[in-house]
Chain A
Amino acid sequence: MKSNRLIFITIALIAGIAMGLTYGWVIDPVDFFDLTPDTLRSDYKADYVLMVAEANRFNPDPGLAARQLAIFGSLSPSAIAASGLDYARANGFDDSDIALMQELVTSLQAWSGLP
């Protein structure tokens, strides 16, 4: 009798935990705001790289471009730009946009001395 009761308690506890996790992770997860750019979705990151590339074409300044790209975290600016370029190539950006991003990558690699 006592062991049956213990089993019921355990089952109820586990059911409660499962319900709580489901609610907290799936049904109503935490709302996030004040996020950092490294959490941006890949297409937004690629578009940001494209923005920097567009500005860099008009006003070539790899130092400024590097500072603008630094918001994405600890990777080197050329690596961040290259990542955006890879995304653009894989997702069919316009050739002219890809060319701009390629220019930016090349410019940043030359500026930083990193391949």
Chain B
Amino acid sequence: MERTPVRRIPWDIFLTLLVPFLLGLGLGLVYSWIISPTRVIDSEPIALRADFKSQYRSAIAAAYAGTGNLPRAQSRLALLGDPDPIEALNAQAQRMLASGEIQQAGDIAALASALESGPTANTQPSPSTQIVSVVPGISTATLLPIQTDIPFLFTETPQLIQTQPVIIESTPRPTRTLVPTLGAPFTLTGQDTTCDTNLPDGLLQVLVLNSNGRQMAGVEIRITWDAGNEQFFTGLKPELGNGYADFIMSPNTTYTVQLGLGSDIASGLTPPACQTSSGDTFTGGIKLTFQQP
């Protein structure tokens, strides 16, 4: 009786070829991913660490304050890859205000305002300067799912351009303009008395809106009274809104409020006396709303 031959695993081939190959593959990956990964050069602003992105934004805003060139600022902001550049600017303005960097916060808030109200937010401006750069012969790491050869364009919409040797197209520089205004002075559109026992006594709430009804962060509010004056800013309590600010008023004191950017003056503001349902009295508050016309 013949026995059916049993198929045997070819251990010889397995041990001789596959195991060394897999071992080598593992060693190669460990070396190329961990021990000596591709050196990062020629990265793009989108890959920067968050704090450096903030500095980049500050530089963009400062440059915009100097040139008033909104399309250029927009194309630079686009390099950072923020999902909502305006929100990113507002948030940064708030952080900088909180840390006392008022000048830079003002520049950033001004840029955010210009982007919000600017008519070119999603339009195609005429190109200003177009720079296409390639550093030949240098390998680049794959950073993020973006093309490393995307040219650096100072235009509204970056275009993919084949980038072998350096191509430069220089067009006349945009006309230098003055620092943009933030629009017409704000008007006082609301002045309400608030009697809410859940709020602190004498709370003055200020809400600042732009012409589109969006809240504006980083707006200076000046309040004066007989014995002094103070300034405070919107956006320091982002949980209550980017355009919100508040101040605690003292009873029996009369205040005057105006926005630093120019606005109607809310004068004669005195914390009202309110009553609870049980007849107890307490000091109420005032809510002011300023909006660009």
Contact = CB atoms under 8 A, between A and B. Distances in A.
Interface in A58-109: 58-59, 68, 71, 91-97
Contact of B44 (A10, A18, A24, A40): A40
B28 A20 contact: yes
A41 to B, nearest CB: 4
A63 B40 CA distance: 30
Q: Taking chain A's interface residues, is the majority helix, strand, or loop, or is none over half, making it mixed?
A: helix
Contacts of A91: 131, 133, 166, 168
Interface in B3-59: 12, 16-33, 37-38, 40-45, 47-50, 52, 55-56, 58-59
Contact of A13 (B23, B33, B152): B23
Contact of A92 (B33, B154, B168): B168
Interface string A25-55: 1001111111111011111101110111011
Interface residues of A, number: 55
Residue among A25, A34, A48 with the most chain B CB within 10 A?
Answer: A25
A32 B40 contact: yes
Nearest to A37: B52
B63 interface: yes
Given A35-B43, A43-B131, A44-B79, A13 B59 contact: no
Listed from nearest, the 7 A-B pairs whose CB atoms lie closest are A20-B28, A16-B24, A24-B32, A58-B66, A55-B62, A92-B168, A43-B133
Given A32-B141, A42-B42, 16 more contacts: A12-B19, A13-B23, A18-B28, A20-B30, A23-B28, A23-B29, A24-B32, A34-B47, A37-B55, A46-B131, A47-B152, A48-B59, A55-B63, A56-B66, A91-B133, A93-B170
